[in-house]
Copies of this chain bind each other. A is one copy, B any other.
Amino acid sequence: MGNNINTQPMPGFMELLPNQQIAFNKMLDKINEVYKLYGFRPIETPILERAEVLLTKSGGETEKQIYQFQKGDNNIAMRFDLTVPLARYVAQYQNDLVFPFKIGNIGKVYRGEKPQAGRFREFYQCDADIIGRDELDISFDAEIISLMYTILTGLGFDKFKIKINNRKVMSGFFQSLDMDSPADILRILDKLDRLKREDIVFELKELKIDDEKIDKIFEFIETKDDIIEKLKEFDIQNEIYWQGVEELEYVDNRVKDLSIDEENYEIDLGLSRGLDYYTGTVYETFLTDYPEFGSIYSGGRYDNLSSYYTDNRFPGVGCSIGLTRLFDCLLKENQIDTTQQTSTNVLIVGMEGFDTYALELGNRLRGFGINTEVLFQLKGSFKYADRLNIPYVVVIGEDEIESSKYTLKEMASGEQVMLEQEELIAKLRGNI
């Protein structure tokens, strides 16, 4: 008896119908395929960690959002991203891993946020990171862009822009103006796409930055065209700045080597990334037709991944897609093809008394890699094939067995052809 239990998933938890799930899984498969193409190695960390492992670096807002509980003597928490567990993993297995350690890391993460549109409490994060031991060449910052580009085009996007910047350029510039809290300034500038200019100015003033310097900041971050050349022309006496310019130029040149379309890539000095731990290159990606999605693919360079867990130094660079939210946004915009309802290529229907023949044929077709279902009842079978968009149906009864020929019906056109078993297999293999 139904007990009036709420059978909906909880708010903030995405649950899909099979055809939507097929579309979602295709995106996951594509990301995994590109990871392999670039030699990123798979790892999988537990969803549950000792709370002390997760709570180390976060604090504040993040900590409030963590799902935490006590079980026996253990204080347990659900991971809220893949980076902190990766930091633990690298510290734990540092002597078994081969560096540079290229990691493709896909999994669900959890945030106990107040449910609101477009925010998920359970979502897939698809991370790729390259971790060095003691050092990591700047060339890997360009490789991450190449990976992001290949994944985005692989997922079918063409109208997107990967934007990059370099934190050292920014910090060095701020320092040259005698502003000593570059991290605070970057955190404010990170809101450029959400706040009005006057609100940004207001927040900068709260940091005791005067009007003249605020103008200089805006002039700087709004630099357009030949940005590298212009950066080189600035009369700035700051080592960090020039180190950043050199890195930015190197990465920019490597991106040109990769012949990435100008449509899909640019340097943007207004790009900040709010997170404190980035120290060099930073990335964000926007869909040209959907700026309201915000950055869909972001990341950056960090100096030391595992500092909380080990005294050894592991610099890295990485990028991350929040796939659940992206899929949800695209689904709502009707940008996801959900016509495929099943993997099945052919449905075999055995008339009464012909179960054996139907099963044998089904078994044979599967042996050739043809995705096959078998039903033992004519009633409802065509409706089933129709609702699931199964391309072909074969009915097996007395006529078929006597004549050793099968009637193959193509559901879309309604056309029927009589085929011997070998012909049937050849025809269906051509349509795998």
Indicate which residue in B41, B45, B137 contacts A377 across the interface (CB closer than 8 Å): B137
Task: List B contacts of A67 (CB < 8 A).
Answer: 48, 69, 71, 76
Q: How many residues of A contact B (CB 8 A)?
A: 98
Task: List B contacts of A35 (CB < 8 A).
Answer: 343
Indicate which residue in B48, B98, B121 contacts A110 across the interface (CB closer than 8 Å): B48
Among residues of B, the one whose C-beta sits closest to the C-beta of A310 is B2
Asked if A5 and B309 make an inter-chain contact with CB atoms under 8 angstroms apart, the answer reads: yes
Indicate which residue in B53, B93, B371 contacts A5 across the interface (CB closer than 8 Å): B53
Q: Is A410 interfacial (CB 8 A cutoff)?
A: no
For window 326-373 of A, CB contacts with B under 8 Å fall at 341-344, 355-356, 359-360, 363, 366, 369, 371-373
The 0/1 profile, CB within 8 Å of B marked 1, for residues 133-147 of chain A is 000010100110010
Report A33 CB to chain B, min CB distance, Å.
9
Report A203 CB to chain B, min CB distance, Å.
31
Report A62 CB to chain B, min CB distance, Å.
15
The 0/1 profile, CB within 8 Å of B marked 1, for residues 49-84 of chain A is 110110010000000000111011010100000000
Task: List B contacts of A68 (CB < 8 A).
Answer: 69
A258-B48 in contact given A7-B92, A15-B89, A96-B17 (Cβ < 8 Å): no
Asked if B2 and A373 make an inter-chain contact with CB atoms under 8 angstroms apart, the answer reads: no
Asked if A150 and B366 make an inter-chain contact with CB atoms under 8 angstroms apart, the answer reads: yes
A257-B22 in contact given A91-B2, A122-B47, A308-B3 (Cβ < 8 Å): no
Task: List B contacts of A343 (CB < 8 A).
Answer: 35-37, 39, 41
Asked if B257 and A10 make an inter-chain contact with CB atoms under 8 angstroms apart, the answer reads: no
Task: List B contacts of A108 (CB < 8 A).
Answer: 47
Asked if B371 and A39 make an inter-chain contact with CB atoms under 8 angstroms apart, the answer reads: yes
Q: Is A18 interfacial (CB 8 A cutoff)?
A: yes
Q: Is A38 interfacial (CB 8 A cutoff)?
A: yes
Task: List B contacts of A341 (CB < 8 A).
Answer: 41, 98
Indicate which residue in B6, B15, B356, B373 contacts A102 across the interface (CB closer than 8 Å): B373
Asked if B47 and A47 make an inter-chain contact with CB atoms under 8 angstroms apart, the answer reads: yes
A48-B6 in contact given A146-B363, A257-B355 (Cβ < 8 Å): no
Other than A39-B344, A47-B108, give 8 A-B pairs with Cβ distance below 8 A.
Answer: A5-B50, A17-B97, A39-B373, A47-B122, A67-B69, A146-B363, A254-B356, A258-B363
